[in-house]
Amino acid sequence: MNAVEKPTVVKPPRPFAEVPRASSDFLLGNLRHLFGDVRAFLTEAYLRHGPVFRVRVMHQRFTVLAGLEANDFASREGKDLLSSKQTWQPQADFFGATRSLLTMDGPEHTQLRRAQAPGYSRSVIESRLPAVVRLIREQIARWPTGCALPAVETLQKLLAVQLGVHVADFSPQGYLEDLLFFVRRVLATTVTRQEPRILLHTPRFRRARLRIWEMAEKVKVANAPKGSGCPVSNLIRDVLDLRQTHPDLLRESDLRLTVLGPFIAGLDTAASTCAFLLYELLKDPALLAAAKAEADELLAKPDLTPERFERFDVIRRALQETLRMHPIAPALQRTAKVSFTFAGYEVPAGETIIVATTVPHYLPQYFPDPTRFDIDRHTPENRRQLPARCLAPFGLGAHTCLGAGLAEALIIVTVATLLWRVDLALEPSDYRLKIDPKPTPRPDKNFRLKIISHREVLA
């Protein structure tokens, strides 16, 4: 006799009002946490409350989706349920843009993303490796021996020139001070909202803005068609071509933000990741020696090739561990397009969502002793044992960072060339990492790189 099957009972979602609240101060809410070590705060709250909880920053409330459950949900259903427009629209408005990759969703977003993908791909760096190494060498040759340089700012300038020359065929050398100030201020006021928007009206910022508008026009002129011949394709030329062929997809008012995109998207994030990576290498003599030996071996021969580039192992795995421990984008802010159910709770349409994508980076079930820097976590064998979407330093879903491959390639070549050409040390030698969260996480201003010597003997 067959057993009678019991009907499956589907529990209705619990009301939104029952979503757990992370503990907070009465006035500031979770401000001191979310503007401090965001990743640590969200991880602790996940371990205490589970995959969905609410936080408050001053007068604004956020619903947090966290853990591997949230990463899977955002990857599978985020395209239909979550929008990034409300987060990024203030930045677009500042530039006078009506359409941008970050504010668009749906088929038009896919079309624009596909058009810009080649210009943001890792092949941009891999196709010109000798030129990339040569430009880095030219820049660091000017660094004075015996001096201690501010790590993040120095790396920002180094990478800004790399991005300009290799992505946009334009060196921003004469604009660097204004560019660094401009990007930081715009991100902190229009995206992360860590600073009041009134700071966009200070005399210093107004001067910087005029200079960067001037730079944007020069980038466009440098990439405009020049009569006969077919110039090598790059991101800016692809964008300008798209403007001509699809004027409704990309309008004239959108070009300023689009041509400055590589600097806005890559300058802060790539430089901060480089700084974190160098910190981890310089505080570990054995790891530093292994990375230097690898750089010496692969860069000693002239003209780095894609084949030799693929042989970077120690530095590549050290970068992957840096992205795990020090993610530049610890979470994604979105808005619920429609009501949906997550982890048994009903989340209403219009709710501001934080997808805490990097919480799994510090969960011991995936990464034992998660506060220890260990590049062996990233051997092919160990990576295969991790669940999909466990590591998400570049976001997830339809708006995953388009330049992730380019950034990784550029960081590897930059750090390898630095180790090959310059002997560096922490300054002060006992420096212990402190995070400056504004506008994105980075080592604080007290982290400096001391130039011990230039390794000219290896030329």
| Helix, strand, coil tally for the chain in percent (to 5) | 55, 10, 35
Computed on alpha carbons and rounded to an integer, the radius of gyration of the chain in Å comes to: 23
Name the class of domain 16-458.
mainly alpha
What is the DSSP-derived secondary structure letter of residue 192?
S
Question: Domain locations in the chain?
Answer: 16-458
State yes or no: pLDDT of 391 exceeds 80: yes
Question: CA separation (Å) from 395 to 22, 244, 390, 424?
Answer: 23, 31, 11, 32
Dist. CA 368–CA 16, nearest whole Å: 34
pLDDT for the residue numbered 228? 52
Query: What number is the average pLDDT over the span 244-263?
Result: 90
Q: Among 88-97, 236-245, 340-349, name the one with the lowest average pLDDT.
A: 236-245
pTM: 0.92
- What mean pLDDT do residues 367-384 have? 96
Question: Percentage of the chain surpassing pLDDT 90?
Answer: 71
Tens-digit pLDDT profile for residues 125-143: 999 999 999 999 999 999 9
Q: pLDDT tens digit string along 21-73?
A: 986 543 344 444 555 678 888 999 999 999 999 998 767 889 999 999 999 99
Inform me whether the pLDDT recorded for 218 exceeds 70. Answer: yes
Three-state SS for 272?
A: helix
Helix 203-222 vs helix 235-245: angle between axes, to the nearest 10 degrees? 80
397-455: per-residue pLDDT in tens?
Answer: 888 999 999 999 999 999 999 999 999 999 999 999 999 988 889 999 999 999 999 98
CB contact burial 423-450 (16+ within 10 A = b; e otherwise): ebebbeeebeeebbbebbbbbeeebbbb
Beta strands in 392-447 (DSSP E): 422-427, 435-436, 442-443
pLDDT tens for residues 141-168?
Answer: 999 999 999 999 999 999 999 999 999 9
